Structure 1
Amino acid sequence: MVFIGFHASHEQIAPSALLDAVVAAERAGFDGAMCSDHLAPWSIRQSESGFALSWIAAALARTAFPIGMVNAPGQRYHPVMIAQAFATIEEMFPGRFWAAMGSGEALNEHVTGDAWPPKATRNDRLRESVDVIHRLMDGELVDHDGLVRVHQARVWSRPSQPPPLFATAVSAETARWAASWADGLVTVAQKPEALREVVSEYRAAGGVGPCALQVHLSWAPSDAQAVQIAREQWANGLLSPPVTWDLEQPEDFEREVGEVDDAEIRNAVLVEHDIASLAARIADLVDIGFDRVYLHHVGNVQSEFLRLAASDLIPALKEQL
């Protein structure tokens, strides 16, 4: 049975409301959740960006299902701080926490004032950071002098088992590279042929653990409403790497997106008003080779989507997956 999860978007919803939403998602029948980790939203209209490490501890305390988060150590977050944070979360909520490690975006990382490295350097920095985190989780006294620097660090409060560290990957190249160190893979919906390549390259390179897919969708009672929600809240989805890696401000994303027509937004988001059709489209993507799917309704109000997920969408998906 495929794991059906809920995605909590910090960029769009205030932390307190997002906490209520994840509690409601568990009641609706989702198997678990994941959240983003941003310092800034993608656009001015989204207008939020709570601190994911604070929020996820509260979310785990108010629920019983597993919750993971995206994280980019190496610039805004020092890997020693992340190792301590992850160890504390996992010690309090054993077996329920995971993190998907990525190389980050300038949108969140530029605030340190450090130069924004090219992608290859960011990947090397991520690998160093993950190695440092693993060593600290194992109880080592760590010194490291490379793209990240660590001086005689130790994490004292540790869980009996460290949490799994997945990799985030959009391209097949990154998925293949991540297979050497990741405990699983998280990617985002794109054209089916691209998704097949991502999964295939990860598995062919020896990648272990679950492959998880995040799906951006917009549901409303009418097609026109669903399109409007997607246009207002997730037009940033029209942009892709390397553009999304290098822009620094929400205003930059809005300027880069420009005017958006209906056909373009439908390419970035699954826009649907019919639940049976939505379930079928999600199932088609999952069938490419994913063990988990996390659904992100891009509206900044989640209550109606969660009600419908409980009554119609989740049952429909379970019949097809």
Structure 2
Amino acid sequence: MKRNKWLILVTLPSLILSLLLFIIFINVQVLKPPSPPNPRNSSKSTMYPNQTQFSLMIGILTRADNYDRRHFLRLVYGIQSSPLATIHVKFVFCSLTKPEQRALIALEILRFEDILILNCTENMNSGKTYTYFSSLPHILTRKYDYVMKADDDVFIRLEPLASSLKALPRVDLYYGFVIPCASMNPFVEYMSGMGFLLSWDVVEWIGSSEIPRENVFGPEDKLVGKWLKMGNKAKNRFSNKPAIYDYPGTNGKCSHELIPETVAVHRLKRWDQWLHVLEFFNVTKGLKL
């Protein structure tokens, strides 16, 4: 009897310690938060990897110092998706020139992997668009069915965009908002630089042809139309009016009121304009704050 009591006294502390460790382990597993979503993907479209019908890369041409705008747009595009397409959103700018850019943008790249840095000096009408398209076949690790060039003051609705592309050709395509504003004929002039799209074969042609290489100075959206005309390219053209347009009251006939079937709204220069657009399209619907 004394021996049994002695064994109990000796083993009891170990049993209690084991029990406490087991309880702590269970609590840690229960309270452990779920793994966060991968922040390196700028679109939730990869939720449907086996269902998507085509792929699209949207390159938002911006400037290295526009940190706040990039972070905001990551939110805007990170909550959108389409079961029709794998869509990747990238931010595109020219070579870094400041020490703080190299440090801060390195953090962005490590965190998000959504930045393309081109070998050029920042410019508006001196070849940035050409450098963008011509560089893609060499710097991307994959091909896309379509590549888009967009400004950082445009709101693109990814699901309507994907739906509008579903029935269009995958080759020799030029898609956007045709200029002049009143025109409905995409074969006469060119697509506005607010946001236009090319099929991958046209992107590869831009990177290899002497026609765009020798014509890089001037209004860049107009130049793209000139390249395609000179090269007899983009036989498949589609101007998506009135679904693509400038924000109401900002640009004459290129503007109109917000409409439910919108694909893209341009010239969002102020936060109150962004707020109007986000509220109109119920971007945060279902979330009560």
Ranked by relative contact order (alpha carbons within 8 Å, sequence separation 6 or more), the top structure is 1
- Decide which structure has the larger Cα Rg and report it: 2
More helix per residue: 1 or 2?
1
Give the TM-score of the pair, scaled to structure 1. 0.30
